[in-house]
Structure 1
Amino acid sequence: MSTTAQEPAPTRVPDAVAYLTGTWTVHRTLHDADTGTTGTFRGTADFRPAEAEDDDAGCVLHVEDGELDWGGTVNRAGRTLRLLPAPDGTAEVTFADGRPFHGLDLRTGRWTVRHPCGRDRYDGTFTVVSPDEWHVHWHTTGPAKDRTQRSVYRRRS
């Protein structure tokens, strides 16, 4: 992960789902500004077509699995999101239960999103660094939150 505050110049991606499909390693750093707690997540992200018998036929599942070290306590962690591809190369991202999360458009190599969640707000930036690396930065603010997550995804060979 880069130690500078600047992201590299973005790499254009004509089709977000085609680009993401496959297996990636994930290294994520987390910081809670209110408590000073820091952590890391290390694991894998698998982007794969949903099974034909699923209600999600045609979508791609984003399944993360790994270990979260939060303030010195280590636990298994993961999540599943769904990507619904659009003909123009963009996608809609939903939570595993189908609730909307955000749009995803990597055609310029950089995409910013805002997701309201109750009284909290998630501001995200996606940057494609190369054919084999992309970054995500989330900043969450709200009445009881001031958290930052920085993730680096690298394609597995």
Structure 2
Amino acid sequence: MARRDTTAGEGVFQPGGRHCVADTLGYLAGRWRVERAVHDLCQDRYGTFRGTADFTREEVGAGLRHVERGEFTWSGETRLASREHLFESVGDGAALVRFADGRPFHPLDLREGSCVADHPCAEDVYRGEFSVLAADCWRVVWRVRGPAKDLRLVTLHHRI
């Protein structure tokens, strides 16, 4: 029987209305506790990430710098992990997420409380489903599919 990892918020919240926000970047700004469950469906292996995400205002421009740091555990081994993105305002409360080097990643609009975004990467397709669950909690579910990949990553963010 496969293990169901609920550490990243699966099954924690009952379905209900979406929590709308006026401005995507305004909502994200600040510090968040991050819990991520990673499931490699090809190999039926699980991993976790636990850490923090800081969304801080850029000195130049109207965007946010996203810096995530923590510990990633996979196959019984725990290592330090980090990543960065840039969140750029595109007006009207929506945003464009960029990789740290400035390449575009995906649009993000949380004003209606949820958003779906796709990102093609070589032969793989990343599909992210973003949900604002409350004023201090949001979730993203990434499905990554490709010739050699079938991953599901569920991340829950709680405002600190």
Superposition TM-score, scaled by structure 2 size: 0.90
Question: Percent of pairs identical after alignment?
Answer: 43
Superposition TM-score, scaled by structure 1 size: 0.92
Name the structure 2 match of 1:140: 144
Q: For each residue in 1:40-74, what CA deviation from the matched residue of structure 2 results, as whole angstroms up to 9, or x when unmatched? A: 0000000001234xxxx332101000000012110
Q: Secondary structure at 2:21's aligned position in 1? A: coil
Q: Equivalences for 1:16-95 in 2 at 5 Å?
A: 16-52=24-60, 57-95=61-99
The change in CA–CA distance for 1:8 and 1:97 in structure 2 (over 3 A counts) is farther
The change in CA–CA distance for 1:132 and 1:2 in structure 2 (over 3 A counts) is same
Contact kept, 8 Å, 2:34 with 2:158, in 1: the verdict is: yes
Q: For each residue in 1:83-142, what CA deviation from the matched residue of structure 2 results, as whole angstroms up to 9, or x when unmatched? A: 001220000000000111000011110100110000000011000001100000000000
Gapped regions of structure 1 (runs ≥ 5) = none
- What RMSD over aligned residues (CA atoms) do the two structures have, in Å? 1.5
What is the aligned counterpart of 1:101 among 101, 105, 112?
105
Q: CA deviation at 1:7?
A: 5.0
Separation of aligned partners in 1, 2:42 and 2:15: 25
What is the aligned counterpart of 2:11 among 3, 13, 16?
3
Contact kept, 8 Å, 2:25 with 2:63, in 1: the verdict is: no
Q: CA deviation at 1:8?
A: 4.5
Separation of aligned partners in 1, 2:15 and 2:40: 21
Q: CA deviation at 1:5?
A: 9.2
Contact kept, 8 Å, 1:7 with 1:127, in 2: the verdict is: no
Q: Secondary structure at 1:86's aligned position in 2? A: strand
The change in CA–CA distance for 1:67 and 1:129 in structure 2 (over 3 A counts) is same
Gapped regions of structure 2 (runs ≥ 5) = 1-8
Separation of aligned partners in 2, 1:102 and 1:45: 18
The change in CA–CA distance for 1:48 and 1:69 in structure 2 (over 3 A counts) is same
